[in-house]
Structure 1
């Protein structure tokens, strides 16, 4: 019996130690990647955003960027500000519960709630209509935004999106983390120290077979997701997504605004034949640009093409298919990171 008590005390001591490591780690991460933007409370949610205004010299309508799972506003901002800065009013935001935004009401646990919060933020900032850009998980929110807020949608750009029900589920830690007590203990003890060891290999899988953008981890502050409250919000989003898109995808035919879908056949994170082909099939006014040997990050690997898609959604003539073929030639030799390993 003494051995049982000793083992139990050892386990409790280990958990307290890991909790302390997590708190120190979260403090260090927040010091390394502080909030850079402004805050506004809309839909009972304290939203963190950066609004890069064009100062009257714009040639494009406003653009709103929705980052993917495990991300924050730095991800799309690092990808697009260089090419679009000054050309449009650009709204980069931390989705509810991500980056430096608060989680807000329970409605923000699903894409329609987050879309409503984004719409409220647009109203707060005086953005009447915009091109909505959604990457990965942000694609599900972008589709919902076009469905529920057509008056605010000029067009939608989907980048390696999630949008439809897929076979299988999600990684185990997404399902574990929202579980009461056990999930809380996991997020407060193990998620951060073990997550730090997975940040760079995980980034390689996100980009594979393309080489990751230089200093991507440092520039985008990926580690912010490892803070316990952010980790729980992200896990809740992902664990509930399959049920949500299963109910919502049949409604996509109601979306009348134009859309462009840019996806790669070597995406190791989502299934492009399920999601991107599904959007092409279900959206009445969608153009699919299918890129051979492109992974999950067209926002970085195909930035020129994505910018041209935004221009086309704004009304400019752009031959996206020709640009896509040119990009295929450019990246045909990319062999960074085995897709097969990342799919395991």
Structure 2
């Protein structure tokens, strides 16, 4: 190849990559259309899956599931929906900018802002009591929701949590994709073709040392992540997380709801010694579930055990609500459970 041909190739490459991204993004949107419900609340057009109960106690809180980085609501839906009977209400939410939920402001990279919008969605859906289950970065949003909406949140489960600032930074491509000018260029040219190429290896790393479920990437609609606007939103979440958590984690002592902290001994994505141990130090009403040999995705590899623990906590909450109701308006009764 002579020098002129090389120059022409290099000049044309960004246009080719842009065209590929446009065509592929449209195909992804057509193939992976929203399967849940849509509602605008808190400045976000939310996409969510809401399974209402067919029977059971009206005092039982709604189970709200908040997914982590690089995913969407289907990640927890395929892990947990079959683990709870028809007497539980289950709400699986695409966080702002991911899946099929919109993001209109850069402020939504902050877990506090995401929690406020999710709280507005719960209000719009008429949900007045909930138990929130958050995975990884979604655990930071779960903590934020407990802080911002203690009127709604009755209990919490933190699964492989990312909730505290940590030494070091994040992968370079998150920092680049989150930049003001270069970021959009990067997302509209490289992230879709390269991301889809590297996805199998990345997923294997997240599940390691355990095996990911068959057809996991297809079942969660992973290509949705690599669309430019979604990848950039995800990158902004990750790139700004440490700074946001430096402020947020100082308030964790305010969280007094019953909490379950779930961690795997072999999690190589987040450090349990920082996040899970940090939650156990900061939260006033938490207990720890350690899963031997589990990696960063225990909600898939140990879903039955985690769901059983959540069901037990839910049952205790319902008993507590019933006891407070029986005690009258003051709520004073010896032995009541919060």
Q: Distance in 2 between matches of 1:299 and 1:191?
A: 27
**Partners of 1:156 and 1:259 within 8 A in 2:** yes
**Partners of 2:47 and 2:100 within 8 A in 1:** yes
Aligned to 2:16: 17
Q: 1:288-334 CA deviation, whole Å, 9 max, x = no partner? A: 111221000111111112212222321349xxxxxxxxxxxxxxxxx
Aligned to 2:259: 259
Deviation (angstroms), 1:58? 5.7
**Partners of 1:112 and 1:145 within 8 A in 2:** yes
Aligned to 1:52: 51
**Partners of 1:52 and 1:85 within 8 A in 2:** no
**Partners of 1:46 and 1:104 within 8 A in 2:** no
Deviation (angstroms), 1:138? 0.2
Aligned to 1:321: none
Q: Distance in 1 between matches of 2:128 and 2:146?
A: 14
**Partners of 1:199 and 1:223 within 8 A in 2:** no
Q: Distance in 2 between matches of 1:207 and 1:316?
A: 32
Q: Distance in 2 between matches of 1:134 and 1:296?
A: 13
Distance 1:265 1:203, change over 3 A: same
Q: How does 1:137-286 map to 2 (within 5 A)?
A: 137-286=137-286
Aligned to 1:132: 132
Deviation (angstroms), 1:31? 2.6
Gaps of at least 5 residues in structure 2 are 318-338
**Partners of 1:68 and 1:136 within 8 A in 2:** yes
Q: 1:136-195 CA deviation, whole Å, 9 max, x = no partner? A: 000100011111211111111000010001111000011001212221111001101111
Q: Distance in 2 between matches of 1:30 and 1:75?
A: 18
Deviates more, 1:9-18 or 1:62-71: 9-18
Distance 1:182 1:7, change over 3 A: farther
**Partners of 2:147 and 2:255 within 8 A in 1:** yes
Q: Return the TM-score normalized by structure 1.
A: 0.88
Q: Distance in 2 between matches of 1:52 and 1:58?
A: 15
Secondary structure of the residue aligned to 2:268 is coil
Aligned to 2:84: 84
Q: Distance in 1 between matches of 2:56 and 2:205?
A: 39
Distance 1:85 1:217, change over 3 A: farther
Aligned to 2:100: 100
Aligned to 1:66: 66
**Partners of 2:55 and 2:87 within 8 A in 1:** no
How many residue pairs were aligned? 315
Deviation (angstroms), 1:135? 0.3
Deviation (angstroms), 1:273? 0.9
**Partners of 2:98 and 2:234 within 8 A in 1:** yes
Aligned to 1:43: 42
Q: 1:179-213 CA deviation, whole Å, 9 max, x = no partner? A: 12221111001101111111111111111111111
Q: Distance in 2 between matches of 1:143 and 1:38?
A: 25
Q: Distance in 2 between matches of 1:167 and 1:181?
A: 27
Q: Distance in 2 between matches of 1:104 and 1:196?
A: 25
Secondary structure of the residue aligned to 2:180 is coil
Secondary structure of the residue aligned to 1:28 is helix
Gaps of at least 5 residues in structure 1 are 318-344
Distance 1:7 1:182, change over 3 A: farther
Q: 1:256-299 CA deviation, whole Å, 9 max, x = no partner? A: 10100111011121111110011011101010111221000111
RMSD: 1.7
Q: How does 1:306-325 map to 2 (within 5 A)?
A: 306-316=306-316
Secondary structure of the residue aligned to 2:173 is helix
Q: Return the TM-score normalized by structure 2.
A: 0.89
**Partners of 1:154 and 1:314 within 8 A in 2:** no
